[in-house]
Structure 1
């Protein structure tokens, strides 16, 4: 497979994590879709040659994409919102099938299958949290894939930390092919990920300015040891989850979520957006636009580029 001759469409493109890995090995991502204004701006800033459609995906048809491309794409990738499925969401619907067929955000997963069915790509890959397979959801997803014209469906569970990502992240990649990327031969620690960065400043690299804390919170932060959390919050079913964890320099970081904020392993401050991006394997030239919270969220809700790159390299080698 010559990646330069392959056309890729990224649905729910976010800030570009999934696309970044494909781009870095030579694929041409021709069209990307996301309805969030600053997310779409961020994507376009980093991928100037890609057509970015900043629209609600429910209003986008396969014909719209075909008209823009001039032909059917070879590969469709995408990451529908995981909020309806993850246990970190306190408001997650109790009945699993309701998360797919009733939750307004869950229904967006069906839009992925609809567009795949209209485009009929040779390869499609959808990323989400493993909880999307709970209690009848796996069977439902198989039916949606078959309705789209794909009888074979694979549920590839990949751990980002096994592909040179400096943070833990277990995700499901649902696809019409089996995906077995080549694993990294080492674990990348927090200290290694942050190595070489200057002190936080507004100039270079981008997104490396301080996120201010109140004096009261700074005092509390100073008492937090590595591995401990400043706050805890309630997830689905009363599950208590940590946030503002102080990173441990000699370990891999915990899972980066949209809501994640981490404390620097040595300094009494939050890590910068750039430092958080490094924990997900983003190169420093990948810029995030919008408000500070939006920037953190884009990173936490994305596919780590290091993992995406491993998947893209696998496709080149095997298809």
Structure 2
């Protein structure tokens, strides 16, 4: 059984896929207490709730020993994403100057110390900008990994009911086989009880909206948004979008809020979790905003399952 360490583990979407595919996840590391509690309670895996800048590899070895086969990591994407209007203009400053961007280098530091058979680092597509990509390769080469692949995967190709293009940097060439059928919003939300009624589904309650905003929401057609906010380069990004029932949902971000296709309300946290492929038994802790944020920052479990399956195949055939 291959053993896994999860850095910047979040609520556990990345780990969940590996667990479902038969891997043993030994430890998650995350700085956020509510996130760490969510991870531990759902996955029954120990969590080190600590700033990774203060975590030495010897600390990790004391907890889980030396035999880590795979390190997975999801360092913050904010320094790199075009959705961040305060992103550094200079591409390399995003990695070497931005304090949050430098967390990526701490993931590489720990990978270099532990020397796993495989590492997989998840991030946004803008990590592919040429100079950034080359310097990340250089950093990974410095810790002993000559072969580095920037695997671009689309979550919707693996059963996630929302668009999501992400890059998985690894010493493995990850090419999991896509499934054929895309899952629509209507299919993803089917079978849930009315959240306005008392029900036994976790995280399935309606978040109140001010009456003024409700009036505006009532006028939205499918695909229309209530809010446009500025990303990097003054790019306009929609939010509070009324979902089209027969299509995939847009990319789910931590800040994303979606309007139900037929009802004048926000999706519940449970409905939003379904758009990312989380099973209904997975319970999110904290307040509404913390719960939505955990979902939007996760690796969708259907995608992480596909990656785990492909990782197993590649390691077995090595």
User: Which TM-score bucket, shorter chain as reference?
Assistant: over 0.9
Matching residue within 239, 242, 262 for 1:243: 239
Paired residues, what number?
314
1:1-319 residue pairs with structure 2 within 5 A?
5-48=1-44, 50-200=45-195, 201=197, 203-319=199-315
Q: CA-atom RMSD, angstroms?
A: 0.9
Structure 1, residues 256-284: CA drift from partner, whole Å, max 9, x if none? 00110000000000000000000000000
**TM-score in terms of structure 2 length:** 0.97
The CA distance in 2 between the partners of 1:199 and 1:235, in whole Å, is 35
| Structure 1 residue 106, shift from structure 2 partner | 0.2
- Check the 8 A contact 2:204/2:271 in 1, yes or no: yes
Structure 2: gaps spanning 5 or more residues: none
Q: CA deviation at 1:135?
A: 3.9
CA distance in 1, matches of 2:168, 2:276: 17
Q: Runs of 5+ in structure 1 lacking a partner?
A: none
* CA–CA separation in structure 1 for the residues paired with 2:246 and 2:254: 24
What whole-Å deviation, never above 9, does each CA across 1:200-259 have from its counterpart, x for those lacking one?
Answer: 156421111101101111111000000100110111111111000000110000000011
* Structure 1 residues 202 and 154: CA distance shift in structure 2, 3 A: farther
The 2-side partners of 1:315 and 1:231 are apart by 40
- For residue 92 of structure 2, give the secondary structure of its aligned residue in structure 1: helix
Instruction: Compute the displacement of 1:291 (Å).
Output: 1.2
* Offset, 1:134: 1.3
Residue 96 of structure 1 aligns to a residue whose secondary structure is coil
Report if the CA contact (8 A) 2:260-2:266 is conserved.
yes
Structure 1 runs of 4+ aligned residues shifted over 4 Å read none
